[in-house]
Chain A
């Protein structure tokens, strides 16, 4: 699966950066700054390309028991296809990312991950990451049997 992502700081507009107080997400391990978004963070959110715009949305529903939304951050591709999410009117989106993290292993992401955006009862958008059964390679790398649905990329 994918418990967190990293995106290059340079891809985020200054306005968005300030609006969402993203400075606390900055890390540096190479020549370029990155922003890390983890499902275990105090504020759970992800960058999303929605209607052609890069925005930041809440990632799934981690702990709100009152909400009608599924209490997870991931959406199985199989469930989506079976229509189990239809009542939420999910919209397919892209979660742009440069790296993903699973079981402590950082792997490369070339374009991004497929996601769905659904709205809660207050019309607030939430994004869920779409997952698929892991490829043999990914499963060996991360020891996880699910992987994110990568866009135009095979691991």
Chain B
């Protein structure tokens, strides 16, 4: 059997660990730019505030709410503590996301789940919900429905049917909006309808990913607990650039910042890439994504920046559009040890930068082209983001 541990409103709960007076209050945690709610307490949720709601819409809904600045460094501390407790309780544990773990449940009574739950609450201070089921997908579904601070078990056919009956298929993580729309065209909107559908049909409609979920919802485990993070197919860095902008210096500075972050991640995973992709999202034009082939496999700043800056004017069309989100993506990854060397390779400044920053703090030494982003670098909290928490198997 597989267990799934999932913290209840994790960022808020993490804040309540160090600020206990926040308990019982409507609390919202704001994202990187201070604009959007990235986590809310159940009290704030009850007022109608959703994840992703901008603060100016949340405040009229929940005027008594308290709005906090996020602190991923602190959340990671608690996340690792949680992980260690689950690891002590089970020989196989997957670090799925910052506040979720899958584990091999050798003993699947409600009692053991409750014991693990209260141990995490006592030692970490964070309330979690736990689901135990024959598959990862069912375990996650049952822990979700047991929230907050609940435990649920899917033992037999009857439990499984009860869990799936009438539940929207979008509750299953892995069924995104687009796939849900495809299923809906064929009259499949609930989990029980999905599980009862023809397997070959699901495979045809949603490929192997869909078929895996079909097996999993039918109680046959096909998705294993991954103790090591699966190898990346690609690595991406980016996100919102704050207020949308068409200032070339500012947008360019964000490209530089994101390439620096990407190079850090490539260095961490000891990989390089053959392709670089730049994706721009605009407020007033359709999204554009372009790919560039690199000269040999690359993982250093200069080569990737050159490629990204080559793509920038091509992707930024029309040039008057306001850029809102940006991603730089390293694709066709290969281990540094096995990379194709270019004939024109030069020694790297990168190593010096890496050495200085690991001593002096992240971004202490950075490209001068990031100068227009005084607001971003002026705030120490921007040095650390959720994607900087390494080792998770999910985002």
Chain A residues proximal to chain B, CB less than 8 Å: 8, 29-32, 98-99, 104-108, 110, 135-141, 143, 154-155
User: Once the chains bind, are A136 and B378 in contact (CB under 8 Å)?
Assistant: yes
User: Once the chains bind, are B59 and A104 in contact (CB under 8 Å)?
Assistant: yes
Closest chain B residue to A153, Cβ basis: B69
Q: Give the residue of A32, A104, A108, A138 whose beta carbon is less than 8 angstroms from that of B34.
A: A138
User: Which one of B24-32, B89-97, B165-173, B221-229 is at the interface?
Assistant: B24-32
User: Once the chains bind, are B380 and A154 in contact (CB under 8 Å)?
Assistant: yes
Closest chain B residue to A136, Cβ basis: B375
User: Once the chains bind, are A141 and B34 in contact (CB under 8 Å)?
Assistant: yes
Residues of A within 8 A of B19 (CB): 108, 110
User: Once the chains bind, are B21 and A32 in contact (CB under 8 Å)?
Assistant: yes
User: Once the chains bind, are A30 and B23 in contact (CB under 8 Å)?
Assistant: yes
Chain B residues proximal to chain A, CB less than 8 Å: 19, 21-26, 30, 33-35, 55-56, 59-60, 63-69, 242, 375-376, 378-381
Residues of A within 8 A of B66 (CB): 99, 106-108
Query: Provided the pairs A98-B21, A104-B63, A143-B56 are in contact, do residues A137 and B34 lie with their beta carbons within 8 angstroms?
Result: yes
Looking at the assembled complex, report how far the CB atom of B383 sits from the nearest CB atom of chain A, in whole angstroms.
12
Q: Give the residue of B22, B26, B63, B69 whose beta carbon is less than 8 angstroms from that of A155.
A: B69
Query: Provided the pairs A29-B64, A30-B25 are in contact, do residues A154 and B381 lie with their beta carbons within 8 angstroms?
Result: yes
User: Once the chains bind, are B21 and A135 in contact (CB under 8 Å)?
Assistant: no
Residues of B within 8 A of A29 (CB): 24-26, 64
User: Once the chains bind, are A31 and B63 in contact (CB under 8 Å)?
Assistant: no
User: Once the chains bind, are B68 and A137 in contact (CB under 8 Å)?
Assistant: no
What are 20 contact pairs spanning A and B, CB under 8 A? A29-B64, A30-B23, A31-B21, A31-B25, A32-B21, A98-B21, A104-B60, A106-B64, A107-B67, A108-B68, A108-B69, A135-B375, A135-B378, A136-B375, A137-B34, A137-B69, A137-B379, A138-B34, A140-B35, A154-B380
- Known: A29-B64, A30-B21; 20 extra A-B contacts, CB below 8 A, are A29-B24, A30-B22, A30-B25, A31-B24, A32-B21, A98-B21, A104-B60, A105-B67, A107-B66, A108-B68, A108-B69, A136-B34, A136-B375, A136-B376, A137-B33, A137-B34, A137-B69, A138-B34, A141-B67, A143-B56
User: Once the chains bind, are A105 and B55 in contact (CB under 8 Å)?
Assistant: yes
Top 3 closest pairs, chain A to chain B, by CB: A30-B25, A136-B375, A140-B34
Closest chain A residue to B376, Cβ basis: A136
Distance, CA A139 to CA B35, complexed state (A): 10
Residues of A within 8 A of B378 (CB): 135-136
Looking at the assembled complex, report how far the CB atom of B100 sits from the nearest CB atom of chain A, in whole angstroms.
26
Distance, CA A30 to CA B20, complexed state (A): 10
Distance, CA A8 to CA B20, complexed state (A): 12
User: Once the chains bind, are B69 and A105 in contact (CB under 8 Å)?
Assistant: no
Residues of A within 8 A of B55 (CB): 105, 140-141
Looking at the assembled complex, report how far the CB atom of A108 sits from the nearest CB atom of chain B, in whole angstroms.
5
Residues of B within 8 A of A105 (CB): 55, 59, 67
Looking at the assembled complex, report how far the CB atom of A21 sits from the nearest CB atom of chain B, in whole angstroms.
23
